Each structure stands twice: as structure tokens, then as C-alpha cells.
Structure 1
Amino acid sequence: MRIMQAPFNCLTPDLITDSIEEAFGISLENLIYPYPSYINRVYGLQDTDDKEYVAKFYRPGRWSQQQIREEHQFLQDLYLGECPVVLPIPDQEGATLQTLNLETYNPNSDQIDELIFHFALFPKQTGRAFDPETDEDWIRLGSLAGRIHVSGRKSPKLSRYRLDAFRLKYYIDELLKAGLIPEESLSDFLFITTKAFELLKNHNESIQSMCLHGDFHRGNLIYNSETGLSIIDFDDMCEGPAVQDLWLLLPGHHRDSRRELELILEGYTEFMEFNQEELKLIEDLRFFRMIHFLHWQSQQRFDRAFYQHFPDWGNHAFWIKCIEDLQDQLLEMGG
């Protein structure tokens, strides 16, 4: 039996606090508050002067140092463009990205492997979730997306992936190679995903890409009555069509959210032009997100707590429901 060791299983509370204290020259209380995070590990911390922080440990192997530095540079560009973002804290030498090197035993090879964690520290942003209730709220959300894209349009080409049909195919191929899909569901999965790939490829052919937030939904906005809205979590920053940073704000499918989308675009076009052709991508991108999430789950299934949150993941009933959901979404795409 092959034993898989998930990287975050090696990250202990002492390692977390020691790494932060050494990198940033601060003294922390012995309290760590884990935050829910799909891919990375995020912790709330407090120093001995009662100042609060958020530490982010990036999943090893997901992004290179260069790619994370691109994220931090984009945050700096947005800040200089008066976009309400939360900047990572620099160390005494001005570096915002730190590294923790560990040696771990690999039972598969009976050898010691090096495990590298990149991490960053942010000031804690207090506030609450933002739920749009008025037309002005929806317009405000569109304005924020527009302000992100003012800087995104100027950003140099990223070394991260481009959100397109070929990235979708990469996720599909990875799921197939992992051998996770039951034989009785495989032909349906192949038919649906092949059709979705072709639709996304055709719909996206003439659409320009820019640097995006990539995961711009309302859960990544914090509202404070004194400071207003702040945008957080640029971990999924990538290149892609502008509409990716708009459709995630919607309360439902495109057909059910036309009024909200109209208001979002009203705010967006105060800052940026919008190509109406991109609207045909909304349901394609929803399909992309479903496959993206499946791929993420397949990568994290060896984490210690994964099956506590997803106890039925990967079983027969799971894949039946998954195929049904993908088929329904393919119909939304026009397939």
C-alpha cells in the first residue's frame, strides 16, 4: 500500500509561531486561530502588544516564489492605484515572502525529503461579510472589479496559468490520470468534459485576457464601517477574461441574475470598457470552476482533515451526483 504524506501535516503550531517570530522580529502570544482555507493554511495570530495578524502558508508546489512575488507586486500596484487591498508586511529588508525549509521522512522512498513552505504575514483586517442589498451596493461591487482591472490591464504577463479551455483540459487530464473516476461513470465524464472544452474554446477565441483577481466573490470582501470595503485573497490571481471577476459576484445563474449583472456592469464601466461578447462565457466559467474544485479536492484528499469535511468524496454516489451536476451545467453552456 502506498502511503501519501500531505505537506501541511508537518506544519505544527510551534513551527508556525517560530517561523513568524524569526522572520519578522515580533513576539507572539501562544494562540493560533486556524481560518478556513481551501488550498493554503491561514492562521490568526496576536503579538504581545495585542496587535493582530494573519499568516498565510502557501501550499508547497502550487506556486513558485516568482509567482507568489507577482501576487505581492500586483497588490502593491493596486494599492498605489487606490484600490482597497491588504498589503503583506515586509521584513526588515523589505521582503514580503519568507521561506521555511523542513526535512521530512518519505516512507515511499525510505529517504529524507526537503519540504519548502513559502509564507507571508498580513495585518488583520477587521469587519464583516458584505451582502449587497441595494442597487448602489451592486454598482459598488462592479466599481471595485473595474478598479482591479485598471491595474490588471497594465500588469506585465504573468508566469501563472491563463484561465482558458486548455487549463480546463489540464484539470480534466489530471483527474483521469489519477484514476479516481469509477469505470461506470467514465464515459459520461469524458463526453461531458470534451463537449465543455470545445464550447469554452470556441467562446473564448477572440476574448482578450488581463491580470485578474481570479476568485472575486463576496466572501473575499470585508466591510468595515470606518474603512469601507477591502479586497482579500489574491491567491488565485491569473490571466483571463474580465468577466471572470464579475460572474462570481452574481447570486445565481446568468439567466436569473440579469438585473444584478446590469448594475455590476454600470459600476464596472465607470473605470473600464467591457466587451459584451464576454457574457457568453459566464456559464462556461462556472463549469471551469466546478472542474477546478474537483481537481483541488483530488490534490488535497491526503490531508489529515480532508475526509472530515468531505466524508463521501470519491465514492460511487459522489460521482453519480458529480456527473449529474456537470451535465446540468453543460446544458447551461448550451451543450
Structure 2
Amino acid sequence: MDKENQIVSQAGSFSGLTPECVLDAVEYCGFRCDGRLLALNSYENRVYQIALEEGAPLIAKFYRPQRWTDQAILEEHQFVQELVAQEIPVVPAIRDRHGQGLHHYQHYRFSLFARQSGRAPETGDAATLSWIGRLIGRIHACGATHSYVHRPSIDPHHFGVMPRTWLLQHDFIPADLQEAYRSVSQQALDGVVRCYERAGDVPLLRLHGDCHLGNILWVSDGEQAGPHFVDFDDSRMGPGIQDLWMLLSGSRAEMQAQLTDILTGYEDFYEFDSRQLYLIEALRTLRLLHYSAWLAQRWNDPAFPVAFPWFNTQHYWQDRILELREQIALMDEAPLWPV
């Protein structure tokens, strides 16, 4: 079992990360803070907006201990720098005079970023979806040129087998629901395998990895107008459809129309293999399995019970069992259009 899926006691992971420590870490990198600090909405890491004595505020991301190795973080930074070189609107880590974007202060690792403003995109607009599709196509064209070495892939093993195994080995699922969860989660994984078999040998490439609308900021006017992609922290190797399916919502007909608009732009820069359509519901199923384990593995972090009070209740696990049953049926349906 890799480091990402090991249970670690998170209770003290960020316990020493006081406002004073955050500001001292930023000043250690040569920036003069004016003392104002705003905690931003992030649970995997700790992220803050830092006001400076001169210039625009910075964003400081303190990485969760024991999640990524230094090499894995630097791989992500390198990928984003490659995207910057292609003039793709992303937000790279700020590098110091030595060319370093990953910093160490006390026992914390952190990076600094420019603050990117923007709002959520209007996904009901075909032109907006096509624009987003063009940029994702460019990201994937760059992502396909090299492979990650230090980051696990988005695949049935890392996102399905491992989190399921972990949950069944630890005391989270209520005893009277364990057998039902064991059975339905195995049926779900069997369905995932069938989807992958139908898709065949789909190439893997470097992805954003968590490309939902919250990680796309839309700037309305000025030289930076359009979508900007932020937070590549979950970047991994995976099939290209991973960065597309989370942008789809609504009825089957609505998702078909949305994907058509996205691919209109996407295929200007990168070819879309339609066999990946078999993977949409499989990847959704894997995300559901992974998410439950992600919450459980971090439950000792004091921020998690406060932010997710509904987790680990009887009702929560009953809903997950029902959700997986629905996914089993969806994975056996025909793809959004003929392959």
C-alpha cells in the first residue's frame, strides 16, 4: 500500500502551523508580510492568502505531511511550468532566485502562488464549453509528451481496489452494513473492470486530475479574459476523459450536448479517442470509492469532523451502498453516443 493510502495520525500534522508560523515561512522566502492572513477553503492542504507590505497578496499552500514525496510535488510543478511555457492560463508555483518552488520551513513543506481572481464558468453556454475544451486539449497535448514517475495513476487499482481494501480493514463501516458494502463495492469494481475492457488500451497522460468547475476560474475581461486552471495538486497519469467528465451534469441529453461542445474545442488541439466514453461511469464509480476512503484516512485531522459532520454515520454508509448500486446499473448502459 503506497504512502497516499496509509493511515496516518493527522491530529498533529498541522497543529503547529500557527498564523505566526505561516507568516514566518513566507518571510523566510524573502517577502515582507503586513500581518494579514486569510485561511482559504482547503482540507487536503492548508492554504492561506497572505497580504504583503508591497504588491498584491500571495497564496501560500502548505502540503499535507506524508501525502506526496518531494519528487512528486516537483513533478507537478514541472508540468505546470511546461504549460506556462505553452502560454496556457495556469498558476505556477513562484520560484525563488535559485529556481526553487518547493520550500521547507520547520517541518512543513509549502509553495507560494500568485493570487488568481475569477468566478465559476457559465457551463450552459456552448462557446464557454468550447473554450474550456480547447484549453484542456492543449493541456493534454503537453501532458502526453512525458510521463509522471513519482505519482500513482488514476486507475482501478489506486482509486478502487486500494481504498476499498482500506475501508474494509478499518473500523468505519457499521457492522450491520459491512457485508452489504463488501458485496456491492466488489460488484462495482467488477463493473469498472468491464468498462475498462470495453474501452481497450486507452493511453494515459499527465492530467489536471481534479478538473471540476471549482478549479476553473473565469475572468470576464482584460488581457486575461477566459478560463484559468488552478490547483494541480491532484495531477496524475490517467485517461484524458478524466478531465472532461466532471464538467458534465444533468440528463443524458444535456451531458451529450455539453460533451459535444467541449470536444468541439478539445479536438482542435488533441485527438479524442471515443473508446474513452466507456470509462465515464467507471471513473465516477472510482471517485466515489476513493472519496470515502479519503475522508476516513483523514478523520483524525480536527478539520475533517467539523467540515464533514455527516460522514461516518449510518445514513452516510446506507447512501454510499445505494449510490454504488446505481453506478453498477449505469456502467452497463450504452455510452453517451455510439463508439
TM-score (norm 2): 0.89
* 1:164 and 1:204 in contact (8 A); partners too: no
Matched to 1:211, the amino acid is R
Q: For residue 307 of structure 2, what is the aligned residue in structure 1?
A: 309
1:260 equivalent to 2:258? Answer: yes
Say which of 149, 154, 165 aligns to 2:156. Answer: 165
State the percentage of identical aligned residues: 34
Matched to 2:174, the amino acid is P
TM superposition shift of 1:304: 1.7
Say which of 42, 49, 53 aligns to 1:48. Answer: 53
SS at match of 1:29: strand
Matched to 2:57, the amino acid is E
TM superposition shift of 1:21: 0.6
TM superposition shift of 1:148: 0.6
* Distance change in 2, residues 1:254/1:120 (3 Å): farther
TM superposition shift of 1:124: 0.6
TM-score (norm 1): 0.90
Say which of 168, 181, 186 aligns to 1:189. Answer: 181
* 1:253 and 1:283 in contact (8 A); partners too: no
Alpha-carbon distance in 1 for matches of 2:65, 2:149:
19
SS at match of 1:129: coil
Alpha-carbon distance in 2 for matches of 1:147, 1:274:
12
Q: For residue 31 of structure 1, what is the aligned residue in structure 2?
A: 36
Q: For residue 65 of structure 1, what is the aligned residue in structure 2?
A: 70
1:119 equivalent to 2:110? Answer: yes
* Distance change in 2, residues 1:9/1:252 (3 Å): farther
Say which of 178, 203, 210 aligns to 1:208. Answer: 203
Q: For residue 135 of structure 2, what is the aligned residue in structure 1?
A: 144
TM superposition shift of 1:281: 0.7
TM superposition shift of 1:328: 1.6
SS at match of 1:56: strand
* Distance change in 2, residues 1:129/1:73 (3 Å): same
* 2:192 and 2:285 in contact (8 A); partners too: no
1:207-247 deviations in Å (ceiling 9; x for gaps): 21111110111111112222122110001100111100000
Alpha-carbon distance in 1 for matches of 2:252, 2:132:
17
1:281 equivalent to 2:276? Answer: no
* 2:195 and 2:331 in contact (8 A); partners too: no
Alpha-carbon distance in 2 for matches of 1:38, 1:204:
31
* 1:164 and 1:200 in contact (8 A); partners too: no
Q: Which moved further from structure 2: 194-203 or 274-283?
A: 194-203
TM superposition shift of 1:165: 1.0
1:33-87 deviations in Å (ceiling 9; x for gaps): 1111131111111110142110101110110000000000000111111211111
Q: For residue 128 of structure 1, what is the aligned residue in structure 2?
A: 119
* Distance change in 2, residues 1:283/1:252 (3 Å): farther
**Tell me, which stretches of 5 or more residues in structure 1 are unaligned?**
102-115
Q: For residue 12 of structure 1, what is the aligned residue in structure 2?
A: 18
Alpha-carbon distance in 2 for matches of 1:80, 1:192:
46
SS at match of 1:160: coil
Alpha-carbon distance in 2 for matches of 1:32, 1:4:
23
Q: Which moved further from structure 2: 67-76 or 303-312?
A: 303-312
Matched to 1:209, the amino acid is L
Alpha-carbon distance in 1 for matches of 2:233, 2:148:
17
**Tell me, which stretches of 5 or more residues in structure 2 are unaligned?**
1-8, 334-339
Deviating above 6 A after TM superposition, structure 1's stretches of 4 or more consecutive aligned residues are none
* 1:254 and 1:283 in contact (8 A); partners too: no
* 1:74 and 1:155 in contact (8 A); partners too: no
TM superposition shift of 1:254: 5.1
TM superposition shift of 1:325: 1.7
Q: RMSD across aligned C-alpha pairs, in angstroms?
A: 1.7
Matched to 2:175, the amino acid is E
* 1:98 and 1:118 in contact (8 A); partners too: yes
SS at match of 2:15: helix
